[in-house]
Amino acid sequence: MSAMLDKFLVWAERHLPESERIWISDLRSEARHISGNLSRQRFLWSGALAALGQILRVRFGVQRVGQSLLGVALLMACLGGIYIAPSIENEVVRVSFYSVLPIYALTAGLALVNLNLMKRFAIGCIAALGLFWIISGLDYFTALDAPVYFFRAFAVEVAFIMTGLYVAASYLGWAEEAGDSQSL
């Protein structure tokens, strides 16, 4: 394993610009002094992940890497949701749960393709959910024999998640502009 990680670091060294790869050879030479296979592997793993992060940042940029991670995380959440949903016994909760999964899936797709579109979609969802929250609070609906309070609470929850995603997407844009790599 150590030899494989070392090979990866050599490969990373070749694919990074001079200013970004200067630390890799020092790390590799230090690793040869570490006794204990596990300690050496941990040392090399951390270095390999850092090198991979640098390669991705240099090749694709902070925003592109971040939005891919965001999209993948959301897709994973959707897959988890598909797995969990059938085990929900209450039909209202199950249907609500299923109905929101395509929204997350679409958000994930947009995050992978275009972050600005994703932000607009998130704003649209938040607005629609807010409108739903207001309308469902009207006397006509509260008098109905339906779990209106649950729907309203569910709408608030989804709106919070979409707000979090909007903030994350905005941060990625700022991080790209700030150029974090030059900070200490």
Partner 1 sequence: MTRFRKPSSSTLKILECLRAAPNGLHGYALMKASGLASGTLYPILARLADRGWLEKAWETGEDISGPPRRIYTLTSLGLAQMESLETAGTLNARTAT
- Report if residue 98 touches partner 1, rule: CB under 8 A: no
- Report if residue 171 touches partner 1, rule: CB under 8 A: no
Nearer to partner 1, 39 or 142 (CB): 39
For residue 99, which of 130, 113, 78 has the smallest C-alpha distance? 78
- Interface residue with partner 1, options 5, 6, 12, 54 (CB under 8 A): 54
Restricting to residues 6-25, name those near partner 1 by CB under 8 A: 19, 22-24
Nearer to partner 1, 19 or 87 (CB): 19
Distances (CA, A) of 98 to 11, 84, 88, 112, 159: 44, 10, 10, 22, 16
Q: How many CB atoms lie within 10 A of CB 152?
A: 19
- Interface residue with partner 1, options 5, 6, 12, 48 (CB under 8 A): 48
Give kind and range of the element (H or E) at residue 89. none
- Report if residue 29 touches partner 1, rule: CB under 8 A: yes
| CA dist., res. 31 & res. 46, Å (int) | 11
- Interface residue with partner 1, options 34, 85, 105, 148 (CB under 8 A): 34
| CA dist., res. 25 & res. 53, Å (int) | 17
> Measured from the CB of residue 83, what is the shortest distance to partner 1 in angstroms?
33
